[in-house]
C-alpha cells in the first residue's frame, strides 16, 4: 500500500504556507486550506499536508502520536510496543471524511501517551523527549507497515497522497482551530509519492514543510545517524526536521546559529565580518560540516513557541513574508497570503540564508 522505494529520496518544487498569531489566537483550518489551494499548480496530487498547534488542549501534557498502519497486524504489534513503553491515556482513529479522490489510504490512528515510570528509570540518562525520539525511531524501523508521522505535544501533523486542499478536507481540518498552521503542496519528481513521504515532517514539536531539493541528503543522513536519528521515510526533507532537533534541542544552539550551521555564509562574506563574528561562523562550519544543507530550499519551520521561514543562502526558491496586527505569514507566493489577508501591514521577500523568526508572546498556550 505504501509503495516505499528501496533506496533514494524524493525532491520537490512545491508550495508552502505558514500562518501564526503571536498572541496565540486560534484560527480555523479553512484559512490555511484556502491559502495552499491558491497554489494548486505547484502540486501534482502526490502529496499534501498540514501541521496545527494548539489543537489538543485536553491532552496538552501528553505526547500525541499520529501513526499510519499498512495492516491491522501492524497496528496490533505497535499497540503492544506502546503498552510496553508508555501509558496510553487515550486513543482513537484520526477523524476523516470519505473523499473519492483520496485513494489507498492507510489506517490512521492517534495515541496520547506518557512515558512509563519504569522506562524513565531504565533510560535515566535520557530526557522524556529523548525517549520519545527513541520510540519513534524504533517503531519506524522495526514495525513493518507502521510509521509515526507526528509526535509532539498539543499539536499534530495531517498528511497523505493527494492535493493539499483535498487532504485538508479528508482530515476535516475545517473543524480544527490552531494558533499556528503550516501547509504543503508536493510535487515529487524522482521517486513515487507515498503517504509517509508527504510533508510536513515532524519530530516532537518540530514540523517542517519544504520547497526544493536537499542534494546533500546522503551526507546529512549519515551525519544524523551518528546521533541516533534514522531517516526511514525516503524523502530528503526528513533530514531538516531531525537536524533542527539535534542542533537546537540537543545541542542548545540558538535558532539563528542553527541556521548558520545549515546554510553558512560563503567564505567571501565571512572574511568581511567583524573578527569575533567571523570566528564563530568559521567554528560552526568546521564543527558542523555534516549539517550543511546543499541545494535549493525554502522551508517553514514551526514549534509550539515559534514559526520561522528559512531560505538557502543563494535563495534559489521563493519565500514571501507578511504581517498584519498579531498575524504573521509565510508562503511561496504573495498571492497565497493575500487570499487570507488582502491588506497586510507589511509584505517582504526573505533573504537567502537569513531566517525570519516569529515567536509566541505567551510561550505556553493551552486553549480550553
Q: State residue 5's pLDDT score.
A: 46
Q: pLDDT tens for residues 217-234? A: 999 999 999 999 999 888
Integer Cα distance of 300 and 208 in angstroms: 6
Q: What's the pLDDT band for 304 if we cut at 50, 70, 90?
A: very high
* Bond preceding residue 200 cis, omega within 30 of 0: yes
The answer to whether the beta carbons of residues 152 and 244 sit under 8 Å apart is no
Name which of 36, 68, 43, 94 is nearest 300 in CA terms: 36
> Which three cell numbers mark 113?
501517551
Indicate the SS3 state at residue 36: helix
Q: State residue 187's pLDDT score.
A: 83
Averaged pLDDT of the chain: 92
Name which of 68, 129, 67, 58 is nearest 89 in CA terms: 58
Q: What share of the chain has pLDDT > 90, as a percent?
A: 84
Q: State residue 363's pLDDT score.
A: 59
Q: pLDDT tens for residues 3-14? A: 444 444 444 468
What domains are there in the chain, each with its CATH number?
A: 15-214+298-359 (3.60.20.10)
Q: How far is CA 37 from CA 186, 227, 332, in A?
A: 12, 38, 12
Q: pLDDT tens for residues 37-67? A: 999 999 998 999 999 999 999 999 999 999 9
Integer Cα distance of 341 and 322 in angstroms: 9
Judged against a pLDDT cut of 90, whether residue 1 lies above it is answered with: no
Q: pLDDT tens for residues 316-341? A: 999 999 999 999 999 999 999 999 99
The answer to whether the beta carbons of residues 31 and 329 sit under 8 Å apart is no
Average pLDDT on 192-215 reads 92
* Of 14, 113, 209, 240, catalytic: 14
Integer Cα distance of 240 and 114 in angstroms: 26
Between 196 and 11, name the one with better pLDDT: 196
Q: pLDDT tens for residues 92-133? A: 999 999 999 999 999 999 999 999 999 999 999 999 999 999
Q: How far is CA 342 from CA 268, 322, 338, in A?
A: 40, 11, 4
Average pLDDT on 201-221 reads 94
Q: State residue 2's pLDDT score.
A: 47
Q: How far is CA 56 from CA 107, 109, 323, in A?
A: 21, 15, 26
Residue 322 phi, psi dihedral angles, 5° rounding: -150, 160
14 is catalytic: yes
The answer to whether the beta carbons of residues 203 and 133 sit under 8 Å apart is yes
Q: State residue 193's pLDDT score.
A: 82
Integer Cα distance of 285 and 49 in angstroms: 33
pTM of the model: 0.93
CA atoms within 13 A on the CB side of 271: 3
Average pLDDT on 262-272 reads 91
Q: State residue 188's pLDDT score.
A: 75
Q: State residue 191's pLDDT score.
A: 61
Average pLDDT on 63-79 reads 98
Amino acid at each position: 500500500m505504501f509503495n516505499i522505494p528501496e533506496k533514494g529520496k524524493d525532491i520537490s518544487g512545491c508550495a508552502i504556507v505558514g500562518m501564526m498569531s503571536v498572541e496565540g489566537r486560534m484560527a480555523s483550518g479553512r484559512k490555511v486550506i484556502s491559502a495552499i489551494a491558491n497554489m494548486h499548480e505547484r502540486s501534482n496530487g502526490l502529496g499534501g499536508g498540514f501541521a496545527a498547534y494548539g489543537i489538543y488542549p485536553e491532552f496538552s501534557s501528553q505526547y500525541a502520536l499520529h501513526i499510519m498502519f499498512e495492516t491491522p497486524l501492524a497496528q496490533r504489534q505497535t499497540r503492544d510496543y506502546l503498552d510496553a513503553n508508555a501509558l496510553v491515556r487515550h486513543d482513537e482513529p484520526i477523524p476523516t471524511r470519505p473523499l473519492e479522490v483520496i485513494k489507498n489510504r492507510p489506517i490512521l490512528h492517534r495515541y496520547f501517551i506518557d512515558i512509563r515510570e519504569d522506562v524513565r528509570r531504565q533510560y535515566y540518562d535520557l530526557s522524556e523527549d529523548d525517549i520519545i525520539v527513541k520510540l519513534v525511531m524504533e517503531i519506524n524501523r522495526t514495525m513493518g507497515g507502521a510509521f509515526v508521522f507526528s509526535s509532539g505535544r498539543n499539536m499534530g501533523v495531517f498528511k497523505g497522497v493527494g492535493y493539499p486542499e483535498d487532504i485538508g478536507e479528508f482530515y476535516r481540518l475545517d473543524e480544527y482551530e490552531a494558533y499556528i498552521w503550516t501547509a504543503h503542496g508536493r510535487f515529487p519528481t524522482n521517486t513515487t509519492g507515498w503517504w509517509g513521504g508527504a510533508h510536513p515532517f515532524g519530530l516532537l514539536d518540530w514540523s517542517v514543510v519544504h520547497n526544493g531539493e536537499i542534494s546533500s541528503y546522503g551526507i546529512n543522513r549519515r551525519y544524523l545517524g551518528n546521533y541516533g536519528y534514522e531517516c526511514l521515510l525516503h524523502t530528503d526533507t526528513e533530514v531538516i526536521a531531525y537536524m533542527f532537533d539535534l542542533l537546537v534541542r540537543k545541542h542548545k544552539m540558538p535558532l539563528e546559529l542553527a541556521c548558520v550551521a545549515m546554510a553558512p555564509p560563503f567564505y567571501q562574506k565571512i572574511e568581511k565580518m567583524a573578527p569575533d563574528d567571523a570566528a564563530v561562523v568559521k567554528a560552526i562550519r568546521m564543527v558542523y560540516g555534516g549539517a550543511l544543507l546543499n541545494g535549493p530550499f525554502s522551508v517553514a519551520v514551526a514549534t509550539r513557541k515559534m514559526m520561522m521561514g528559512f531560505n538557502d543562502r543563494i535563495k534559489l526558491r521563493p519565500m514571501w513574508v507578511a504581517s498584519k496586527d498579531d498575524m504573521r505569514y509565510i508562503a511561496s507566493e504573495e498571492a497565497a497570503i493575500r487570499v487570507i489577508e488582502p491588506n497586510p501591514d507589511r509584505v517582504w521577500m526573505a533573504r537567502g540564508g537569513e531566517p525570519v523568526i516569529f515567536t509566541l508572546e505567551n510561550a505556553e498556550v493551552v486553549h480550553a
